Chains A and B, each alone.
Chain A
Amino acid sequence: MSALLAVDGLNKRFGGLQAVKDVSFALEAGSITGMLGPNGAGKTTLFNLLTGFIAADTGKVEFDGGPLLGLAPYRIVNRGLARTFQLTRPFLGMSVLENVEVACFAPRVRHEGHARARARAMLEHVGLAPKAASLVDVLPYGDLRRLEIARALATRPKLLLLDEPFAGLGTSEIQPLADLIRELHRKEGLTILIIEHKLRELMQLAHEVIAMDFGEVVATGVPAEIVRHPRVVEAYIGKAEIGESGGALGAA
């Protein structure tokens, strides 16, 4: 199977800080890949580089048979690469349905049927249909996460980048969302790259894990290997998350 996304030698420096350093990896079409690393490892910066929100210094990104670097964010979305934000960013003052409808107006999907009907279908997909008419301003956090995913799905992506989808969610909200992500992958063959701090969920979802530290890829492999990799243990487990990830390691 050929790679849907191929990143080659990507670099980004902010002043004296090398946020992303010579990062290379490839994503197989139809895979779920996890991205692991402590805070400040460069994961979100990498997402911003891939989606055009920040310009890369050097490097190459091939997506679905064409280069991505240098394209404006909205163009990248219309090429089939969508993202969610770490901190949810809804369109305040608009209804849940309208929030998703906006994405249905993207040139990539504008001609695929009635926008309102498509938006409603997306909400049904993520389980938000009963709240279609409510104002996003009053939505609880877990629903905002689902809304972010619905909005991204409305652009019918080939690759979906999820930036810490479980952050700030309670235990009861995490499992349904993980199930949703798994279902999107299984039913629609969506390729997914997911940043997550919660090791347990990530290990259950991902086929392969890329570990980052100090802007570099320090290890790549199947989840079981990655959690035993010395660089990962040193970089990730050595810090604040001993209690939680110790449990996850035991489970893995």
Chain B
Amino acid sequence: MSIHRTDWLGALVVLAALALVPAILGSTYVTGIMTVALCFAMWAASWDFMSGLTGRENFGHSLFIGAGAYTAGFLNVNFGASPWWSLAASPLVAVAFSLVIGFPTLRLRGPYFALAMLSGAAVMQSLTIIFSEYTGGQDGLNGLFPFFDSELAQYYLTLFFLAATVATLRLVANSPWGTILRAIRGDEASCQAAGINVTFYKIASLMISAAFAGLGGALYAHYQLQVGPDLFAIILSINIIIMVYVGGMGSIYGPVGGAILLILLTEALRAFSEYRLWVYTLILMLILFFLPQGLVAPLWRRLRTIVQ
């Protein structure tokens, strides 16, 4: 069996498992956790597409998530638009933010892009507090409509968009486009000497990354029925990067596994009550120390050779 076929087979098995588990368990609690996990998976995969492939670290992915979520909130709460409009509007707004940050900073070498993303998210978080009469301040915007009344239907919608996201990003990453992005990671000057417009590819891949992060933001907002300043928080961006590392950077599917794994781990550790963060951090440190390439993607690569 070819590598390509084995990958498809693996994807189908995982997709089937994700589709069946909440339906079989029939617990709204589990379905809810899984819906959140799938949103994080979308954010981790979209982070990985730009930063994992090109090596230009984005320390403010929450900028795109918050932009998408607040777009959904404004449209739905303030203008009474149907939640379905968010699915188009949120990615667009996130892409607009990616242009504002990416256009001036991705032409430059050095840490400007990473710093601009970090501060961009921080500035937006402060703005939600400053303009609290429109944004609801710390309380955020409340009373968003869900896509469906059924938890399970919401879950399947999120799963559908996650599958579409991963399929799209993998397709692009396996095309010439992906080869060029990995070459940018290798050496930008050489890439230019090979006749490649490096700036274009970096900005375009950030736009793609932002679009899917914004889409995930909209799905999250219409599931939680509330958006708040925490969606712009730096800790959210950092958590996403940790998920990518645990999953295996540059593979797209790895971060999906990393996100689901860590969200489920957080829930499983509730038994430790106040020691939860200690245990969680210890586990993370062990993973990152002993498995610098991550857990999920290397595991799948090994499994794949066994299957073949």
Contact = CB atoms under 8 A, between A and B. Distances in A.
Interface string A88-113: 01111110001101110111110000
Interface of B: 176, 179-180, 182-183, 185-187, 189-198
B178 to A, nearest CB: 10
7 contacts: A77-B192, A82-B193, A90-B186, A90-B190, A102-B183, A102-B191, A102-B194
A74 B189 contact: no
A91 B186 contact: yes
B192 A115 contact: no
Shortest 10 CB-CB contacts between residues of A and residues of B: A106-B195, A91-B186, A77-B195, A103-B194, A73-B192, A89-B190, A102-B183, A91-B183, A89-B187, A74-B192
A152 interface: yes
A101 B192 CA distance: 14
A84 B176 CA distance: 22
Grouping DSSP codes into helix (H, G, I), strand (E, B) and loop, the A interface class, with mixed when no group exceeds half, is loop
B190 A74 contact: no
Nearest to B188: A89
Contact size range, A: 20 to 34
B187 A155 contact: no
A88 B286 CA distance: 37
Nearest to B184: A91
A72 interface: yes
A78 interface: yes
A158 interface: no
A51 B193 CA distance: 8
Given A53-B192, A74-B197, A154-B194, 16 more contacts: A74-B192, A89-B187, A90-B190, A91-B186, A94-B182, A98-B182, A98-B183, A99-B183, A101-B179, A103-B194, A105-B196, A108-B195, A151-B190, A151-B194, A152-B193, A155-B195
A41 B180 CA distance: 35
B254 to A, nearest CB: 16
Contact of A53 (B179, B182, B189): B189
Contacts of B195: 74, 77-78, 82, 103, 106-109, 155
B182 A77 contact: no
Contacts of B191: 74, 91, 102
Contacts of B192: 53, 72-74, 77
Nearest to A108: B195
A167 to B, nearest CB: 17
Interface of A: 51, 53, 72-74, 77-78, 82-85, 89-94, 98-99, 101-103, 105-109, 115, 151-152, 154-155
A98 B175 CA distance: 12
A74 B198 contact: yes
A105 B176 contact: yes
Nearest to B182: A94
Contact of A92 (B176, B180, B187): B187
B185 A85 contact: no
Contacts of A94: 179, 182-183, 186
B194 to A, nearest CB: 4
Contacts of B193: 51, 73, 77, 82-85, 89, 151-152
B130 to A, nearest CB: 40
A74 B196 contact: yes
Contacts of B180: 102, 105
A92 B196 CA distance: 17
Q: Which of B185, B191, B193 has the largest number of chain A CB atoms within 10 A? A: B193
A240 to B, nearest CB: 29
B179 A98 contact: yes
B189 A89 contact: yes
Nearest to B190: A89
A52 B187 CA distance: 17
Contacts of A51: 193
A125 to B, nearest CB: 16
Nearest to B192: A73
B187 A91 contact: yes
A32 to B, nearest CB: 20
B186 A93 contact: yes
